[in-house]
Structure 1
Amino acid sequence: MSKTDKLKARQPRGFVDRGPADVAATERMLSVIRESFSLYGFEPVETPFVEYTDALGKFLPDQDRPNEGVFSFQDDDEQWLSLRYDLTAPLARYVAENFDALPKPYRSYRAGYVFRNEKPGPGRFRQFMQFDADIVGAGSVAADAEICMLAADTMEKLGIKRGDYVVKVNNRKVLDGVMEAIGLGGEENAGRRLTVLRAIDKLDKFGPEGVRLLLGDGRKDESGDFTKGAGLNDEQADMVLSLAILQSGDVTELENIGDNRYRESNKGVLDGMRVHFGNNETAATGIAELEQIAALVEAAGYDRSRIRIDTSVVRGLEYYTGPVYEVELTFPVTNDDGQVVRFGSVAGGGRYDGLVGRFRPEPVPAAGFSIGVSRLYSALKAVKSPIVDARNELPLVVVTAMDNKSPEHMPAYQAMVSALRQATGEDGKPLLRADLYLGSSGFNAQMKYADKRGAICAVIQGSSEREAGTVIVKDLILGAELAAASRELKDSAEHKARQAEAQFAVPAAGLVEGVKRVLKRHA
């Protein structure tokens, strides 16, 4: 191809590449999550990236036309297929298809990428990873309580200490009851209900007054952009806002919930909900379910600092039918604008009793939650969790090929790298990773290659070492430290002694022991 005809290397908008450090750290994180979920009796299942579009259903927020929000295409038989937008809808199809063969209640977990066909933006991607746990076939809210406890335990196993997270629980039935009370029940009001839910979800970001604007005519931000509101009158907005700030926000905003005792315990929040919204039958059912969840988690030793009833939780997906929950990280971080903010939500879920039943003649209750892996990974880096620390990787050793243009010497280099790969510690586990240089460049380029790979040391054998039956082990970390030393320090006896340790010869048969000297030095 001519220079003008060559393809331009470019990444699609809304998608990201991940380097080896990110991939390795994510794998360690996923391993911890799997172990946590397994302790609760969940078993793995894997579903394909692609499902029939009608099987996924139209449950994404803002979905006003058939394929909005999803990537879709037609098969050769003109059937519409879509990339999955979450891991829950495919699970519903899988359970329905294998219903008679599965134990019920059925506990499963899944990890994988999901896809959203929406406008990308800062921190908003079209492909991202989720890790889900679900219980299908359990109608009791004990399943919801179990999932909330699982979420709390998993955060702590990942290195997020108690007090830096909270699992917040609400119930869509309470929200539905309030919607009925203000005249927004029924299918004809589905769009306005979604606008109200979105407004409540902005409480932490905009505060009570900002939410009130979104519940009314709308809100204009600092840039002048206008967000159209739900069009509620003052009385309707007061009722919705009173629910949202019963537990969160400024409880003195409205006189009828100005009693701070409602915020002191899960029981206090539930009492406040019953006083203000318990006269609606739907809301009363939801409050009773929340009371059961609170009793179950408290009996298991999870106090309100870990799992709490919180009336501001709404969740965006339309298939939730009962309790909903979010895992919020409460520690402060500095955003791109230099402002100190709370990290926010990294996981969420709820009860979806109608999703599996779309495929079955009988209703099938279900509940589950999903961890946003990429966002959680950012959180673990913020708290310096050892799980995402690159130092947890096995150290890398590069075997250079000084005579790489002479094929007869390559078997000897291959034998060296093989011996290193078989090296184990006292526990029988591998000690290191080993890489044989397979390029055609000279020695200096090979050393630059080892540096770029982040190798801890390099193994060198040229013709003189081969004749002497030795190899040279070069400590790249110590070598870099010595090279950066000041001129005065370089003239010292200590510096010269350390230089002898930075590069030393060992018998070829003692290669592994020589490399172990370097590993021990930087343990």
Structure 2
Amino acid sequence: MAKPKKTPRPKAETPKGFRDYFGAEVTQRTEMLRKIAAVYHRYGFDALESSGVETVEALGKFLPDVDRPNEGVFAWQEDADADKPGDWLALRYDLTAPLARVYAQHQNDLPKPYRRYAMGPVWRNEKPGPGRFRQFYQCDADTVGAPSVAADAEICAMLADCLEEVGIPRGDYVIRVNNRKVLNGVLEVAGLAGDDKERERGIVLRAIDKLDRLGPEGVHALLGEGRKDESGDFTEGAGLSEFQVKLLVDFLGVAKKLGSVGEPHTVEDEAEFKKNNDNLLIYTQAEWNGFICESLRSIVRDSTVGNQGVDELETIARLLDAGGYGPDRIVVDPSVVRGLGYYTGPVYEAELTFDIQDEKGRTRNFGSVAGGGRYDDLVKRFTGQEVPATGVSIGVDRLLAALQAKGRMHSSEAGPVVVTVMDRDRMADYQKMVAELRQAGIRAEVYLGNPKNFGNQLKYADKRGSPVAVIEGGDEKERGVIQIKDLILGAQIAESATLEEWKDRPSQFEVPRDDLVAKVRDILAQHDLPGGGADK
């Protein structure tokens, strides 16, 4: 008789493209989201927590492949095997499409305009890679029902405040603003505005989206006959004329050619600006956005939509300047090309300007951590009527990585004070101690493992990153005292101190039992840890 096969044990491994987050990582993200939410709330935005699941129909054009709803998203069909299968459902792909559904569904009950912010995980069934996961956090804020670009200016100002609130100072970031209408004007002047030019426009948009990766030369090739990459694969180009290519390259090159605010720039024909003896031009912050807009106006020529886009950029710059948000923080930059096929007006992107070292020791610019823009066609899918909307999404994980790279967020946090157990029959005494600490606002726990080996209790406290251990054996109980061990100081002494220094700097203190909270607070304060300071 054959032996029954054993059921194989499941593998204890995280699914591909996902990851687990522990202690400090979760705490850091929660704290950062709290700070961002406080800024959003200060600007008058209300919190919204929408469903984590949407119908595929509601997601609509946001799906990577509408014809195959299980591609790009995690989707399933209700009662798939039934005679009448149900709806296709999907984990939300982002936080914007659910907002459109919520607004269309509840618009009669919502204020107009409706300001909302949302924070939470989203899921994408895409190929994972280094730093690219199938589940990640988004942190969005949107205004629905406001046609004025004052709403766009407000979003940009709020984004600047959020970055500074979480620890990115001025000088370490810049928010770049562009407008889809300006590009539409450029395409119109280039003769690419008609329905019969849809193919060429698609190639142009994809080429522009690759500017950061391929550089001007690569984009130039894709706008022309095409480009062969390093592997020899050839990508067909848009086949534009030299005039068309030059117009588009000029559009993208306005800000790149001029460089950054406050730096000198060699010029030849901008006579309206003052030049010094070295034929160098210094653009002041006040001149910057105005000059960029005038350069764009010369490119869009007599295009109505193009000039409307430039007008909107000038208005945004003026409103931001009035609020104290000058080009030291927010600049007009036509090289911002994020998702221009998705947006209908202003677009913006927050870029961190400092350098970091990658895993191979190479110097890299950190890059973008947030972006957004105006998308006036979104709600129309549900209502049939155009509803103006604009918003921003902050990349939570990238922003956390940026703060860690700048040394403004530590990868670990202090663990709880550990009350050790010297006599398991006196657990009530130890629970009373830990309750006193917690009621005083100090993070603390009683050791709940096997108390037989005291050394294991201290090893546990070390593994938890505990700053303090509290000890009360039978002898201490009789004398009405406790031992309080400064584990941080003890580790420092053990690492480098001599015997004489160890005697001069004791790390364990005997204090009256009633002084438990006061002494623990004193030690925490010495190490600048939460819970330290005077009695409250």
Q: TM-score range by the shorter chain?
A: 0.7 to 0.9
Say which of 308, 313, 317 aligns to 1:294: 317
Show the counterpart of 2:532.
none
What TM-score do the two structures reach when normalised by structure 2?
0.86
- Per-residue Cα deviation, 1:27-73 (whole angstroms, up to 9, x for no partner): 11111111111111111111111111111122356878545322211
- Return the match for 1:365 from 388, 394, 403: 388
Distance apart, 1:2 and its partner CA: 10
Note if contact 2:414-2:466 (Cα within 8 Å) is conserved in structure 1. Answer: no
Letter aligned with residue 419 of structure 2:
V
User: How far has the Cα of 1:371 moved from its partner?
Assistant: 0.5
Letter in 2 for 1:15: F
- One-letter amino acid matched to 2:524: L
Answer yes or no: is 1:91 the counterpart of 2:99.
Answer: yes
Q: Which amino acid aligns with 1:159?
A: G
The percentage of aligned residue pairs carrying the same residue is 53
**1:316 and 1:67, CA in 2 relative to 1: closer, same or farther beyond 3 A?**
farther
Q: Deviations over 1:306-326 (max 9, x none)?
A: 111111112227431111111
Letter in 2 for 1:396: P
Greater CA drift, 57-66 or 9-18: 57-66
Listed as ranges, the gaps of 5+ residues in structure 1 are 252-256, 424-429
Which residue of the partner structure matches residue 517 of structure 1?
A: 522
> Structure 1 residues 339, 221: CA separation in 2 closer, same or farther (over 3 Å shift)?
farther
Partner AA of 2:417 in structure 1:
V
Deviates more, 1:394-403 or 1:327-336: 394-403
Q: Per-residue CA shift, 1:373-417, capped at 9, x if unaligned?
A: 1111111222233xx3468x676201112234xxx3211111111
Asked if 2 retains the 8 angstrom alpha-carbon contact of 1:58 and 1:66, the reply is no
Correspondent of 2:437 among 413, 420, 440: 420
Confirm whether residue 241 of structure 1 aligns to residue 249 of structure 2. Answer: yes
TM-superposed CA distance for 1:194, in Å, is 4.3
Distance in 1 between residues matched to 2:448 and 2:156, nearest whole Å: 51
In the other structure, the counterpart of 2:327 is: 304
Q: Give the conservation status (yes or no) of the 8 Å contact 1:21–1:390.
A: yes
Shift of 1:258: 7.7
- Letter paired with 2:520: V
Q: Is the contact between residue 319 and residue 354 of structure 1 (CA under 8 Å) also seen in structure 2? A: no
Aligned equivalent of 1:397: 417
Take 2:50 and 2:213, find their aligned partners in 1: how far apart are those partners?
Answer: 36
What secondary structure sits across from 2:61 in the alignment?
A: coil
The corresponding residue for 1:148 is 156
Distance of 2:233 and 2:462 partners within structure 1 = 49
Q: How far has the Cα of 1:205 moved from its partner?
A: 3.8
Tell me the matched-pair count.
499
**1:60–1:317 Cα contact (<8 Å) kept:** no
**SS of residue paired to 2:19:** coil
Partner in structure 2 of residue 105 of structure 1: 113
Do structure 1's residue 451 and structure 2's residue 454 form an aligned pair? Answer: no
1:189-239 alpha-carbon deviations (Å, 9 max, x no partner):
656534423322333443311221233344445566665544444333222
Are 1:341 and 2:394 counterparts? Answer: no
Q: Secondary structure at the match of 1:304?
A: coil
Residue number in structure 2 paired with 1:82: 90
- Partner of 2:129, secondary structure, is coil
Give the match's secondary structure for 1:271.
helix
Superposed CA RMSD in Å reads 2.7
Q: Within 5 Å, which residues of 2 pair with 1:34-433?
A: 34-59=37-62, 65-76=68-79, 78-185=86-193, 192-222=200-230, 229-249=237-257, 265-316=288-339, 318-385=341-408, 388-389=409-410, 396-404=416-424, 408-423=425-440, 430=441, 432-433=442-443
8 Å contact from structure 2 (residues 69, 88) kept in 1: no
Distance 1:138 1:250 in 2: 33
Aligned to 1:33: 36
Q: 2:496 aligns with which of 485, 488, 494?
A: 485
C-alpha distance in 1, partners of 2:268/2:204?
23
Q: Report the CA distance between 1:96 and its aligned residue.
A: 0.9
Show the counterpart of 1:495.
502
Q: Say whether residues 1:506 and 2:526 are aligned partners.
A: no
- C-alpha separation between the residues in 2 aligned to 1:191 and 1:435? 65
Letter in 1 for 2:72: G
Q: Helix, strand or coil: the match of 1:320?
A: coil
Match of 2:449 among 439, 442, 465: 439
* Cα displacement (A) at 1:509: 2.8
Deviates more, 1:219-228 or 1:134-143: 219-228
Q: Distance in 1 between matches of 2:190 and 2:152?
A: 28
Does the 8 A contact of 2:414 with 2:467 survive in 1?
A: no
Change (3 A) 1:26 1:414: same
Q: Residue 98 of structure 1 aligns to a residue in which SS?
A: helix
Give CA deviations for 1:287-307 in whole Å, capped at 9, x if unaligned: 222122122112222212211
Which residue pairs with 1:427 in the alignment? none
Check 1:507–1:4 CA distance in 2 against 1; reply closer, same or farther (3 A cut).
farther
Please name the residue that 1:426 is paired with: none
Query: Which residue identity lines up with residue 55 of structure 2 in the other structure?
Result: Y
Distance 1:146 1:50 in 2: 30
Letter in 2 for 1:400: T
Q: Partners in 2 of 1:250 and 1:163 — Cα distance?
A: 18
Structure 2: 5+ residue stretches without partners? 80-84, 260-266, 274-280, 529-536
Partner SS state of residue 246, structure 1? helix
Partner Cα distance (1:438, 1:396) in 2: 13
Measure, in 2, the Cα distance between the counterparts of 1:331 and 1:174: 29
Match of 1:254 in 2: none
Select 2:477's aligned residue among 454, 459, 466: 466
In the TM superposition, what whole-angstrom CA distance separates every residue of 1:324-359 from its partner, at most 9, and x where no partner exists? 111111112222332222211111111111111211
Contact 2:74–2:124 (8 Å) recurs in 1: yes
Change in 2 beyond 3 A, CA 1:312/1:187 = same
Q: Give the distance between the partners of 1:434 and 1:242, measured in 2 at CA.
A: 62
Q: Is 1:59–1:317's contact at 8 Å kept on the other side of the alignment? A: no
**Whole-angstrom distance in 2 between the partners of 1:95 and 1:186:** 33
State the SS of the aligned residue for 1:245. helix
Separation in structure 2 between the aligned mates of residue 59 and residue 135 of structure 1, nearest angstrom: 19
Note the C-alpha offset of 1:179.
3.1
